Amino acid sequence: MTGDRRDTPALPHLTPQLPDLSGLSFGGGGDLGEHFRRLEEITRRRADRAEPSTLFLPEFTTLAAEDSLDVGDDGEDLLEDARANITRGEYALALEQLAEFLDLSPGHAEARYLRGYCHYRLGDLMTALEITLPMRSERLDDRRVRSGVLELRATLRRMVTPEETDAFLDTRGRDPRGADERFRRFIALAPEEPEPPYLLAVMLVLDGDLAAAYRTAQAAVDEVEGDASRLRALADALQTAALGSLAGDAVRALADGAYSRARKALQRLDREWRETELVRDFDAYLGGLIRTGRSPAKPLPPPALSPERATRLYGLIADPYREEAVELVTDRRWAEAERVLAKVLHLVPAYPPPNYLYAICLLVQGKEPERAITAAGIAVRDPMLPEAELLLRRAVEAKAVLAINAAFDEHNAAMAAIGSPPTRQQLITLRRTMEGLRDRMPGLREQAGTGENERHVRKLADAVAQRLAEIDRATATIEVNELVSRFNRWAERSGPHPLYADLDFGQTELALIDRDVQRLLRSTTDPRARKVLQDLRDVLASVNRFG
């Protein structure tokens, strides 16, 4: 055999371009970076926004007297006069009449609505918001009054919200306290609007006041109308971020397996935080670990919670490790990142974000493809990790790549162990290796998955077939040489003229040599070996004729 070395082809384990990990969060909605980007979007939108056009309510339709609440003749006259003046556009006069009427009947819904409407028409928008604020939550029996209140408030908010937002952003840099107070007053008057409390909370985060930011966002979640998803996500993120510091002792105790100590650390939190859903869930989870006597050596079980609440609890437990893990992955310090992530996954084995990073670490290092597939499969469950699907496909492909690479490495290592010339034992060992590789070819073809992998499997199969053919030739050469040597030894022992020597000497040896020659002639295809064997058989035949 030649003993030449064949290099393993360059099979890609994973594309060198990694996804952007800078915004990856371990928190259940705890990516504050997303909300900072949202603040930039709001600022850009403000800069691009055209001046708002003046918005007017559709012309007020006078309610018939019989549709109003009966408050007596005098009071009814005041209300009728106010209606008439509103129809004529005499809003200031109507306000005076409505004030007198409301002194007589302060709870009258239509009169209160008309009063707010007059302030709107006179341009006193904040007063109109203040007058109609309690009415949004009252039971208004008159459908037309209720519809009017809601429509008026919607119009007022469309007009005032951009102005108040601009004033807040313009003045906060030089007078943060005054800007916050004014914005809070507006938020109190227009609690339906999701953007103002969102904006204020993000600004408070930039100030470093996570607790105040959380309270601002959380208080607004149940008040806003329409889509509150961003505000709720911010409140969750702020709660997790704030508790990440406050509950740090409990998380560290959990990591140490000291479940009772972790629970006591939670009990030392202020009542405001102890009563949050997240801390209650953490406390209940620790209680379950204590009751079941869970061994710290085992990965922690998933909490018996809804997916959303489980994600937030996982985020609280894992967040202390987030910055270190992301930094190590970003710096491509794969082995160190793998160790940190393994520690995290011992605590939160079913949490998608660290599984996502863990799969990347394993794949880049070409390690444990089955574990990488499992981790990527968990990462796919998180819709906030859109590249997890691609990562899972890469993990499945990597399993095939690593299997093919391992087969190439086995082939190369076996070839490197062959001497020049090879010994019989080396050839026996090499044949065993190559036959094992040949038997694995169908499985490698089946899992190849890509055209490139299939080409490499064919290349390996061809190389294995060639090695087996070379082994056959080399083995035949060794055996032919051994037969020639055996005949030469027989001839030396038989004297200087073997054809006339004592033919009874070594007849058994000659018979054995002849048998082996015939065996090799039946199995050997190498022309050179067959030529030597045929010559040797002719010599043996000559010796036998003189026997």
pLDDT of residue 384: 80
Domain assignment of residue 381, yes or no: no
Alpha-carbon distance 340 to 326, whole Å? 10
In whole angstroms, give the CA distance from residue 543 to residue 490.
Answer: 12
Quote the pLDDT of residue 52: 46
DSSP code at position 71: -
pLDDT band, very low/low/confident/very high, at 69 (cuts 50, 70, 90):
very low
Domain count, the chain: 2
According to the model, what pLDDT value does residue 154 have? Answer: 94
> Is residue 440 a part of any domain in this protein?
no
DSSP 8-state class, residue 27 = S
* pLDDT bucket at 30, cuts 50 / 70 / 90: low
Neighbours of 482 (CB within 10 A): 13
For residue range 186-238, list pLDDT tens digits in order: 999 999 999 999 999 999 988 988 889 999 999 999 899 888 888 888 888 88
What is the C-alpha separation between 138 and 126, in angstroms, rounded? 20
Please report which confidence band the pLDDT of residue 302 belongs to, taking 50, 70 and 90 as the band edges.
very high
Which has the closest alpha carbon to 311: 29, 26, 28, 25?
28
Domain-ending residue, one of 148, 164, 192: 192
Query: For residues 353 and 319, what is the distance between their CA atoms, to the nearest angstrom?
Result: 10
**What would the mean pLDDT of 75-80 be, rounded to a whole number?**
87
Question: Quick check: is 142 in a domain?
Answer: yes
The set of residues, in sequence order, having a beta carbon less than 8 Å from that of 274 and lying 6+ positions away, is 266, 267, 280
Given 192, 207, 240, the domain boundary residue is: 192
Residue 68: CB atoms within 10 Å: 19
pLDDT recorded at residue 408? 87
Per-residue pLDDT, 3: 42
Enter the DSSP assignment of 489. H
Question: Is 96 among the domain residues?
Answer: yes
- Taking the alpha carbons at both ends of the chain, their separation in whole angstroms is 39
Least confident of 61-75, 110-124, 349-363: 61-75
Confidence of residue 11 (pLDDT cuts 50, 70, 90): very low
Q: Do residues 27 and 319 lie in contact, with contact meaning Cβ atoms separated by under 8 Å?
A: yes
Position 547 confidence tier, pLDDT thresholds 50, 70, 90: low
User: Under 8 Å CB-to-CB from 232, ≥6 apart: which residues?
Assistant: 29, 221
φ/ψ of 296, rounded to 5, equals -65, -20
Q: 14 by DSSP, 3-state: which? A: coil
Q: What is the pLDDT of residues 483-518, one digit of tens each?
A: 788 878 877 776 655 554 444 545 687 788 878 888
- The closest alpha carbon to 280, from 319, 239, 252, belongs to 239
pLDDT at residue 57, as a whole number: 42
The pLDDT of 315-326, averaged and rounded, is: 88
Q: CA-to-CA distance for 424 and 429, rounded, in angstroms?
A: 9
CA distance readout (Å), 423 to 308, 471, 528: 66, 11, 19
pTM: 0.62
Give the Cα separation of 441 and 160 in Å (integer). Answer: 73
Question: What's the CATH code of the domain at 132?
Answer: 1.25.40.10
Residue 170: inside a domain, yes or no? yes
CA separation for the pair 452, 70 (Å, rounded):
87
Given 192, 212, 241, which residue is the final one in a domain?
Answer: 192
pLDDT digit string, tens, across residues 143-195 = 999 999 999 999 999 999 999 999 999 999 999 999 999 999 999 999 999 99
Which pLDDT score, from 0 to 100, does residue 521 have? 80
Distance CA 169, CA 202 (A): 12
Residue 76: per-residue pLDDT: 84
Cα–Cα dist 91/97, whole Å: 10
Alpha-carbon span 363 to 372, nearest angstrom? 7
Look at residue 57 and tell me if it is in a domain.
yes
Residue with tokens 């997790």: 240
Mean pLDDT throughout 403-412?
86
Q: Please name the residues in contact with 145: beta carbons below 8 A apart, sequence gap of 6 or more.
A: 109, 110, 113
Cβ contacts of residue 538 below 8 Å, gap of 6+? none
pLDDT at 20: 58
Q: Nearest Cα to 294, choosing from 340, 260, 329?
A: 260
- Write the pLDDT tens digit of every residue in 259-275: 999 999 999 999 989 99
pLDDT value of residue 482: 78
Asked whether the predicted pLDDT for residue 407 surpasses 70, the reply is yes
Residue 512 CA, chain-centre distance (Å), reads: 71
**How many Å apart are CA 224 and CA 194, to the nearest integer?**
5
In a domain, 322, yes or no: no
**20 assigned to some structural domain:** no
Domain interval for residue 91 = 52-192
Rg (CA), the chain: 43
pLDDT interval class at 304 (50, 70, 90): very high
Tell me the mean pLDDT in the region 472-492: 80
**Per residue, what are the HEC states of 273-338?**
HHCCHHHHHHHHHHHHHHHHCCCCCCCCCCCCCCHHHHHHHHHHHHHHHHHHHHHHHHCCCHHHHH
